[in-house]
Amino acid sequence: MIAVLGLIAGVVLGILLEPSLPPFVEPYLPIMIVAAIDALFGGCRAYLEGTFTDKVFVVSFVSNTIIAAGIVWLGDQIGVGSQLSTGVIVVLGIRIFTNAASIRRSLFHA
């Protein structure tokens, strides 16, 4: 319940504030968003399987986003930024699909 409210609040805040991106964040925000979505799916799956812990979720959420952005930043420094960001997106995408499959299995047993 509160989670859904939080989602709505985030969207409303983003629309109302219309923040402008600081330039150094711009290349990394998409990667961070994908990493955060991955952490959310993992937390959802853990919750449905009954193994959800606040601490683990928060740590995974923060570290996922920071590590993803850090890898891409490192790639930009050594000139393989676009390839690395593609790689990170692929890995995170695979994890999102795996988590989504687990969620589906625990909800529909199929």
Partner 1 sequence: MPEPESPEPESPEPESREPESAPRPEQSASPSGWRRLVRAFLRPSRSQLILALCLAIVAFGLVWQVRSGTRNDYANARQEDLVQLVDGLGAEEARLNGELNDLENTKRELESGRDSAAVARSEAERRRDVLAVLAGTSPAQGPGIRITIDDPLQKVTASTLIDALQEMRDAGAEAMEFNDSVRVVASTWVANQGSGLVVDNKQVSRPIVLDVIGDPQTLEEAVRFRGGLASQVTGDKVGASITVDRSDKIRVDSVVTAPQPSFARPTR
What residue ranges bind partner 1 (CB under 8 A)? 1-11, 13-15, 18-21, 23, 26-27, 29-30, 32-33, 35-40, 42-43, 45-54, 56-61, 63-64, 67-68, 71, 76, 81-82, 87-88, 91, 95, 102-103, 106-107
Smallest gap from residue 2 Cβ to partner 1 (A): 4
**φ and ψ at 70, to 5 degrees?**
-65, -40
Sign of CA dihedral 34, 35, 38, 39: negative
Smallest gap from residue 72 Cβ to partner 1 (A): 10
Give the residue from 104, 103, 110 showing the smallest Cα distance to 44.
Answer: 103
